[in-house]
Amino acid sequence: MKSLLSISDIKDDVRYILDLAIKIKAGDVEDKPLEGKTLAMIFQKSSTRTRVSFDVGMYQLGGRGIFLSSNDLQMGRGEPISDTAKVLSRFVDGIMIRAIKHEDVVELAKYSDVPVINGLTDFEHPCQALADVLTIKEHLGDWKGRKICFVGDGNNVSNSLLLIAPLLEMNMSVACPKGYEPHEDILKTAHEYAAEHNTEIIVTDDIGVALENVDVVFTDVWVSMGDEAEKAQREIDFAPFQVNSDLMSLANDGAIFMHCLPAVRGQEVTSEVIDGPQSVIYDEAENRMHAQKAVLYYYLKD
């Protein structure tokens, strides 16, 4: 059973899915292609964009989403993930899960008879990466030869961007403090993809090097859900990596700013940047729905 747990799961079809997202956004697909389909939406973490975009996306495609929090499921009371997967597979056509641990999503997909979509884990955020590159294409044109930079924590968002960038022939840099680099397995795979597509991956704590010839600047919160115990130290370590006007001036003229949201204005990014003319954060947020509608069509359409 095909599932979307990682960008690597769609490495051969990523352009097809993005082209489909563009068509869906433009209204160039059949009306209600997922009529009669049902998506179970499991949320172990709170959500604004993921919940609403998947729910509305399923509705607009003619299907239905069922919201299931940890309090709604026996999985939250000790039922094995395998049992939950097998039972839900008898009721629904697909499962989307926003999980605390990536291993839980892998296990859910292992025992599920329907596609499982990673709505976010501590390891990857593939739906966000798809929305991000869709936004880049809308604002900057073709992906080939562009350079993007993620500034801050080498987290799930940066992990998925590292995988998708070379697949679309983009170069990527990550500017982060020492000790906060992206996961070594992700970097290994990203370098392999970069070699295949003649692109470059750079990870450095030198902001000047990272921002050289950059067309897109990304950042994310310094303290993700689950990292609260490290809050004080993280705020110290990441302070030099705040995305402000001085940092943005190091990027190319016409560079855009992106953030997956929610943001802490005055921390990882200043209000001047996130609310300024280079920011495309609301287009990026909207594109979560369009990218995910393409994913749903790809996985659930007969």
**pLDDT 10s per residue in the chain (302 long)?**
699 999 999 999 999 999 999 999 999 999 999 999 999 999 998 899 999 999 999 999 999 999 999 888 887 677 899 999 999 999 999 999 999 999 999 999 999 999 999 999 999 999 999 999 999 999 999 999 999 999 999 999 999 999 999 999 999 999 999 999 999 999 999 999 999 999 999 999 999 999 999 999 999 999 877 778 889 999 999 999 999 999 999 999 999 999 999 999 999 999 999 999 999 999 999 999 999 999 999 999 98
Question: Using CA atoms, how far apart are residues 186 and 170, in angstroms rounded to an integer?
Answer: 16
Q: Please, where in the chain does CATH 3.40.50.1370 lie? A: 7-125+288-300, 128-284
pTM of the full structure: 0.97
Question: Using CA atoms, how far apart are residues 66 and 70, in angstroms rounded to an integer?
Answer: 13
Please work out, in degrees rounded to the nearest 5, the angle formed at the alpha carbon of residue 216 by the alpha carbons of 15 and 132.
40
Q: In what order do the strands lie in the sheet with 116-120?
A: 64-69, 38-43, 94-98, 116-120
Question: Using CA atoms, how far apart are residues 104 and 297, in angstroms rounded to an integer?
Answer: 24
Phi, psi of 213 (to 5 degrees): 60, 35
Question: Using CA atoms, how far apart are residues 73 and 77, in angstroms rounded to an integer?
Answer: 7
**Multiple choice CATH, 128-284, 3.40.50.1370, 3.30.70.1150, 3.40.50.970, 3.20.20.30:** 3.40.50.1370
3-class SS of residue 234: helix
Question: Which residues are known catalytic residues?
Answer: 98, 125, 128, 220, 260, 288
Three-state SS sequence of 162-217:
HHHHHHCCCEEEEECCCCCCCCHHHHHHHHHHHHHHCCCEEEECCHHHHCCCCCEE
Tokens in use for 35? 């009529």
Which CATH number does 7-125+288-300 carry? 3.40.50.1370
Instruction: Please enumerate in sequence order all residues whose Cβ is within 8 A of that of 142, keeping only pairs 6 or more positions apart, or say none.
Output: none
Side-chain half-sphere exposure of 204, counting CA atoms within 13 A = 13
Instruction: Please name the residue ranges forming H helices in the chain.
Output: 14-26, 49-60, 81-91, 102-111, 126-140, 156-167, 184-197, 207-210, 231-238, 245-248, 271-274, 281-300
